[in-house]
Amino acid sequence: MNGRVHLVGAGPGDPGLLTTRALELIAAADVILYDRLIPSTALDGARADAELLFVGKEGGGESVAQEQTEALMVQRAQEGRTVVRLKGGDPFVFGRGGEELDYLRRHDVPVIVVPGITAALGCAAEAGLPLTLRNEATRLCLVTAHLAADAQATDWSGLADPRTTVVVYMGLAAAPAVRNGLIAAGRDPCTPVAVLARGTRPDAASVAGRLDALEALAAQVGEGPALIVVGGVVAHSDPWLAALAAHAPQEIAA
């Protein structure tokens, strides 16, 4: 078997944030298995004879089972083909890249991981939001609220420290649980928060306010994907400064 699989991160949505290595591998691939949230032009450089297979997932929408995706990667590699598994963001940050890596290893398929810019970094940068700040925010925690049906579904107890910036992936629908969980764990209800929806894409939207107003803020940005950023660093961001300039109501003013 001369085939192999590259697990490639495509970044948060802006085609300009695809790495040079990702573009090289897309151009050379025999087979590309791609997710729903890759940049709109990510496949433009693929060979005309490349096999392009959609294997994305969407809650309540078109989805391909993870088991089918993994089986396709192994099958194509065992046929001696060069496979790119193109994933939004970074393969190893809430992207099932670790699961796919383990599966490929169990089937003796050579695999190489190519990192991508994860949403927390790309979307925060677009919003002028520093995730860490010397003497103010000294710890960064990335969590997912994808399975949070209520505030008890996630352990928030270690995230109450005001020097900790919390970035919640897939948290739009779970905004009430995020708010309730963090406040119950001891986070100040007045803590600045930002909701960054569809970051780095043409239809990006962002709002900022206080943690206790998170549910209302989440309702303002429309559909996801979206991140929730919690912490004092939000007060340095463009959405927060814009809200202050617009004389936003009391949910902005601490």
pLDDT tens for residues 80-118?
999 999 999 999 999 899 999 999 999 999 999 999 999
| Residue scoring higher pLDDT (2 or 140) | 140
Please, what is the angle between helix 97-106 and helix 66-78, to 10°? 40
| Distances 85 to 71, 90, 185, 195, 226 between C-alpha atoms, Å | 12, 12, 39, 29, 23
Burial state string for 93-125 with b = 16 or more CB within 10 A and e = fewer than 16: bbbbbeebbebbeebebebebbbbbbbbbbbbb
* Amino acid (one-letter) located at 100: E
pTM: 0.89
Whole-angstrom distance, CA of residue 104 vs CA of residue 124: 33
Q: What was the pLDDT predicted at 249?
A: 47
Q: What was the pLDDT predicted at 253?
A: 45
- State the catalytic residues: 35, 57
List, for residues 193-237, the tens digit of each pLDDT value: 999 999 999 999 999 999 999 999 999 999 889 999 999 999 999
What domains are defined for the chain? 4-114 (3.40.1010.10), 119-245 (3.30.950.10)
Whole-angstrom distance, CA of residue 214 vs CA of residue 62: 29
In the predicted model, is pLDDT for residue 254 greater than 80? no
Comparing C-alpha atoms, which of 118, 180, 115 is closest to residue 145? 180
User: Could you tell me the pLDDT band of residue 246, with boundaries at 50, 70 and 90?
Assistant: confident
